Amino acid sequence: MMQHTFASSDGPIEVTLARHGEALQLSGYSLAQHDRGRLLVTLANGTTCIAHATKVGDVWWVHLNGRTYRWERIEPGSSSAHDEGGLVAPMPGKVLEVLVREGQSVEAGTALMVLEAMKMEHRIVASTDGMVAHIHFQAGEQVAQGAVLLDLEETE
Amino acid sequence: MVSKVLVANRGEIACRILRACSEAGIGSVAICAPNDQGSLFTELADEVVLLEGTTIGETYLDQEQIIAAAHSTGADAIHPGFGFLSERAEFARHVSANGLIWIGPSPEAIDQMGDKMTARQTMRAAGVPVIPGEEVEEVDEAKTLEALRGAAQRVGYPLLLKASSGGGGKGMRAVHDPADFDQAASAAQREAIAAFGDGRIYIERLLTGSKHIEIQVLADRHGRTIHLGERECSVQRRHQKVFEEAPGPTMTPELREAMGQAAVAAAQAVDYEGAGTVEFLLAASGEFFFLEMNTRIQVEHPVTELVTGVDIVREQLRIANGEPMSCGDLMIRGHAIEVRLYAEDAANNFLPAIGPLAVFRPPEGPGIRLDTGVREGDDITPNYDPMLAKLIVWAPSRVEALQKMRRALDEFVILGTTTNVEFLRDLCDAQPVIDGSTTTTTIDTLWPNGWNPPQDLTLEDASLLVAAGAETLGLHRQRERSAKEGTGGPESPFATLNRRYP
């Protein structure tokens, strides 16, 4: 299971994909990698089309059947920019608890760390299935806004 | 003798002209502002001269620098393209005075047509019908408003106030109610003085629901002045054309002949040379009226090229070189449509957009022509006009041309910068476009509250799957990786090639 959150004018949209062999699925649609930058989409009625997708900043630009859509991805555990593969602190605060250890495999959605900031607890959550490559802070340490808390290596 | 042409322009029209030079075996020079370095057009020229300065005024409008560039590169002719210096008579004079060939009409012709009041008078004298109206020659500022009021009474409402030096909608005001006249007239005057340094205003009757039809003309130094038929460019937003076609969907051979003859008469009245366009308004009554003459190559020239088989830019080069034009009798074949691709947000009042052209994959196939000034990887900046490219299709019939345009626009992939592609695609499904009954107010009538992309929830959901899937699959990392590795393909055998010289 892979979970992603995208911004929309009606608030965040959560998308949870299921993997079936090489294909990814979402409520009747199916998706497979076609070649670099392109994906093969099978719609619910069985018709297929080639989608182009490219990421500019946090925004995925998607071209599909003559239409272009823009989806801004909201990074888990952060409200804005993130480092490549890293999970960053959404605001300055203190690490309350580290819930994983280095080398551990996690699923998308797994809570990795608990952060206290502005008197609130924030759970830092894995964006994808992956392996915890490095943990940068231990419980009790202070972190600055935007600091990379841990590195997650995606499993392909 | 034209042996090396300096193109005093940028973007897609510079590309068009530079390619024509290359085809004709003529040398070419591009000029380039510092913020245009690496642009597509600079790669199509034999030589590039880097201009100094940052603003447009300091670069593409700097006559001294441009003429110096022609001298330093040994260019013997200057092609101005459109916009920039193309309709500045003093530049044409300056070019000739420096011993260079000006690829365009004489400065006198530019002057006579550039001043709209003079043009109206010249056309009237040549027997070309002009829009009913009045020029106001009153120079005493205290009395102009009074004179304009009187003229307005005689012309009748609704009317249009226009600046004599105007263009691009500046210094122009539509007045529907006499009560609004004074305010509109003062505003038009102020705008005209600010934009053109000339506050002279004339009044035209406002012909609503009319079509914008223009006739392409060509004239050489061997006594031949011909027309290449019409283009219809009624579909406009903010006085800018977005959808142009040839032939006009409602044109008849008789009307084409009459308008063609009027256009030729207009050109001959100013001893025109080269390529030019005479614009008319075609009223619902079937009457046509002279609007203005553009004394340069036009953005929408490709549709005429596709239906007549005439390479207009090539003819410009030929004519400037003193040769007779090469085209024979007018023969119109099939139908061509052009759409202008703008970096703009059509859903947000056509606001110009900027950004990277992260993906730019134009459509391909028979009957498709792309005149582009950009390619994948370019950055769209706010420095210049947001027109990126023109997509032009040709097919045996209008119905098929429209079908081809729909297919082409559906195939066009542009990611990273917002463009009007979907708006243009939606336009192809609009009833007035389908039945050819478009007028200059069609866009406002179709979308009085602004355009929004049609909703398609199935596709929208599928696009979310694509975005999420692309993120999961790490598509963005694949791109970065391949960029870092250079080609991204297998290692080139040439890296280890060891050539031996006997």
pLDDT tens string B186-230: 888 888 888 888 889 999 999 988 999 999 999 999 999 999 999
d(CA A37, CA B98): 52
Residue B412: how many other CB atoms lie within 10 Å: 24
Whether the CB-CB separation of B343 and B354 falls below 8 Å is answered with: yes
Contact B473 A66 (CB under 8 A): no
* Annotated catalytic residue, options B10, B173, B296, B425: B296
Which chain B residues touch A if contact means CB-CB below 8 Å?
355-356, 358-359, 361, 409-411, 413-416, 421-422, 425, 453, 456, 458-479, 482, 488
For the segment(s) A86-154, the CATH number from 2.40.50.100, 1.10.10.10, 3.20.20.10, 2.60.120.1440 is 2.40.50.100
Fold designation for B4-103: Rossmann fold (3.40.50)
Could you confirm whether B238 is annotated as catalytic? no
Whether the CB-CB separation of B150 and B143 falls below 8 Å is answered with: no
Q: Which residues of B touch A69 (CB under 8 A)?
A: 459-460, 463-464, 467
Q: Which residues of A touch B414 (CB under 8 A)?
A: 63, 68
d(CA A26, CA B465): 6
Amino acid at B374: V
Q: Which residues of B touch A4 (CB under 8 A)?
A: 467-468, 471-472
Q: Which two tokens stand for residue B360?
A: 């730019």
Q: What is the pTM of this model?
A: 0.84
Q: Which two tokens stand for residue A55?
A: 């990421």
Contact A67 B459 (CB under 8 A): yes
Q: Which two tokens stand for residue A42?
A: 């099978």
Per-residue pLDDT of chain A (156 residues; tens, 9 = 90+): 688 999 988 888 999 988 888 889 888 889 998 887 799 999 888 899 999 999 999 999 999 999 999 999 988 765 433 334 458 776 677 898 899 999 999 988 788 988 876 555 677 888 788 899 899 999 988 887 678 889 888 876
Residues in chain B where the model's pLDDT stays below 50: 487-491, 493
CA angle, residues B484, B486, B489, in degrees to nearest 5: 115
Of B461, B472, B474, the CB nearest to A29: B461
d(CA B353, CA B295): 30
pLDDT of residue A88: 79
Nearest to B281 by CA among B203, B204, B213: B213
Contact B410 A65 (CB under 8 A): yes
Of A2, A44, A56, the CB nearest to B472: A2
State the maximum Cα–Cα separation within chain A, in Å, rounded to a whole number: 54
DSSP 8-state symbol, A28: T
pLDDT of residue A79: 43
Of A26, A63, A128, the CB nearest to B413: A63
d(CA B420, CA B12): 17
Of A56, A60, A62, the CB nearest to B356: A56
Q: Which residues of B268-293 are buried (b: 16+ CB within 10 A; e: fewer)?
A: ebbebbbbbbbbbbbbeeeebbbbbb
Q: Which of A61, A75, A83, A129 to mutate to test the interface with B (most CBs of B within 10 A)?
A: A61
Amino acid at A110: T
pLDDT of residue A114: 84
H-type alpha helices, B233-378? 253-269, 301-308, 312-320
For the segment(s) B335-428, the CATH number from 3.40.50.720, 3.30.1300.10, 3.30.460.10, 3.30.470.20 is 3.30.470.20
d(CA B346, CA B212): 22
What class is the B132-205 domain?
Answer: alpha beta
Contact A17 B469 (CB under 8 A): yes
Nearest to A120 by CA among A93, A155, A144, A139: A93
> According to CATH, where is 3.30.470.20 located in chain B?
335-428
Contact B465 A6 (CB under 8 A): no
Q: Which residues of A touch B465 (CB under 8 A)?
A: 15, 17, 24, 26, 29, 31, 41
> According to CATH, where is 3.40.50.20 located in chain B?
4-103
> According to CATH, where is 2.40.50.100 located in chain A?
86-154
